[in-house]
Amino acid sequence: MKFLPYILIAVLLGILLLQNKSCTPPPIAPPRIDTVVVYEYIHDTIPGKPQYVATKIDTSIWMKKADYKPDTTYSGLLEQYETLGNRYFATNVFRTDFSIGAHGSVSVIDTIYGNWLMGNSLITDLKIPTTTITIEKEALIKNQYFVGGTITGNLIYPISGVYGGLMMKNKRNQLYGISVGYAGEVNYGFSMYYNIK
């Protein structure tokens, strides 16, 4: 039992030397920055009904053009009538595409029947970033663990006790520790520390 304190001192000194040589403090994690881009998607919007504005008749085109003059025969006149009816009552669909660069495209569909605009539709395929939110968060704090020892003494006995212990620092900056050692007899302890400033 006489050599037990010296053995404990040697073990603690060895642990301290190993800690100083082989362990480096953990690097401080930089703040984490998250950038969130919120996209608004627009697809196949439905427009309102077409509104009638005005009519303009240009008789100079069809009355003076030879193709539109009535044929003198019945069969020729019937053929002109059927051609004109088919043309007039045909449904014509027109599509106009508009490119919006990197944001997509818009297409306008017009339906014409009997020389009237019967309907239109707007087809969109857009991807426009509308909101950018930057969130800066502090680096995640983790529990930290420390191992070490204590050598106690006084004026009469330069080395009266040797203790080894384990300490934990939690996420709330509080310290908790346990220790065990020898000071004439085996002792153990528990410690708690709180950050006051």
Q: Which of 23-27, 64-68, 115-119 is the most confident on average?
A: 115-119
Q: Which of 34-48, 70-84, 100-114 has the lowest average pLDDT?
A: 34-48
pLDDT for 97 beyond 80: yes
Task: Give the type of residue at 53.
Answer: V
List the beta strands (DSSP E) in the chain: 32-43, 91-99, 104-113, 116-137, 144-152, 161-169, 175-182, 186-193
Residue listed under structure tokens 């106690």: 152
Band (161; pLDDT cuts 50, 70, 90): confident
In this prediction, residue 56 carries a pLDDT of 79
Summarised one tens digit per residue, pLDDT across range 8-44 is 566 656 665 555 544 455 556 666 666 666 666 666 6
In this prediction, residue 23 carries a pLDDT of 47
Determine contact, residues 165/150, Cβ cutoff 8 Å. yes
In this prediction, residue 188 carries a pLDDT of 84
pLDDT for 108 beyond 50: yes
* 188 vs 181: CA distance, rounded Å: 6
* 129 vs 102: CA distance, rounded Å: 11
pTM to 2 decimal places: 0.39
